[in-house]
């Protein structure tokens, strides 16, 4: 007998194959047992999937598709990779902003573009991105010309959304 083979799942698989008049030939029984054992803890689910779909073979589990409008759930490895990619992009953006865009007004325009991008990506991780962006906006607002920011309707809207009426008042006080 094969090590780590789920005997109950194997017996169900053999009985199913006999029931559909496709019995497992003695020459291929050992290879099929090895194939089933490779599925590890998922052996019973693999057999259930094959039987319920009336398949003649054993295949990797097909994960349920998300409902329309629902995003697929990410694994822990995917979430870790996303976090690492996010950190890399933050560092790259900071280097680029500091080297290529010396003007705080230009940096604010980039913040506006990021803000519009983030608001199109719903999800729990967006809150962290928006909080980071708020800090970047605040830093650049202190360095930028208040009159230039107030004269740009897009930047004025961004300031209003992140800092409210008090943010606009502070800019107006600075420009006066």
pLDDT tens digits, one per residue of 129-165: 888 889 989 999 999 999 999 999 999 999 999 999 9
Question: Mean pLDDT over residues 15-37, rounded?
Answer: 93
On the question of pLDDT at 73 being above 80, the answer is: no
Q: What does the alpha-carbon distance between residue 174 and residue 150 come to, in Å, rounded to a whole number?
A: 11
Q: What does the alpha-carbon distance between residue 94 and residue 68 come to, in Å, rounded to a whole number?
A: 37
Structure-model confidence comparison of residues 67 and 134, the more confident one = 134
- Tokens representing 71 are 């995003």
User: What is the chain's mean pLDDT, rounded?
Assistant: 88
* Distance from the first to the final alpha carbon of the chain: 86
Query: 141 with 166: CB under 8 angstroms?
Result: no
Buried b (16+ CB within 10 A) or exposed e, 115-146: beebeeeeeeeeeebeeebeebbeebbeebeb
Give me the pLDDT at residue 16, please: 95
Task: Give the C-alpha distances (Å, rounded to integers) separating 142 from 21, 104, 145, 174, 175.
Answer: 78, 9, 8, 10, 12
- The predicted model scores a pTM of 0.49
112 — phi, psi (to 5°)? -65, -40
């Amino acid at each position: 007998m094969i090590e780590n083979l789920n005997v109950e799942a194997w017996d169900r698989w053999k009985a199913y194959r006999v029931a559909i008049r496709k019995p497992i030939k003695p020459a291929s029984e050992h290879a099929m047992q090895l194939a089933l054992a490779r599925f590890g803890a998922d052996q019973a689910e693999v057999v259930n999937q094959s039987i319920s779909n009336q398949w003649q073979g054993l295949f990797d589990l097909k994960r349920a598709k998300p409902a329309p409008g629902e995003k697929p759930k990410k694994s822990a490895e995917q979430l870790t990779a996303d976090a690492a990619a996010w950190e890399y992009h933050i560092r790259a953006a900071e280097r680029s902003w500091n080297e290529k865009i010396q003007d705080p007004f230009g940096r604010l325009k980039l913040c506006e573009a990021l803000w519009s991008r983030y608001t199109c990506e719903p999800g729990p991780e967006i809150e962290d991105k928006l909080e980071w962006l708020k800090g970047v906006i605040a830093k650049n607002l202190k360095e930028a010309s208040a009159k230039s920011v107030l004269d740009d309707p897009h930047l004025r809207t961004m300031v209003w959304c992140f800092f409210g009426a008090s943010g606009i008042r502070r800019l107006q006080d600075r420009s006066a």
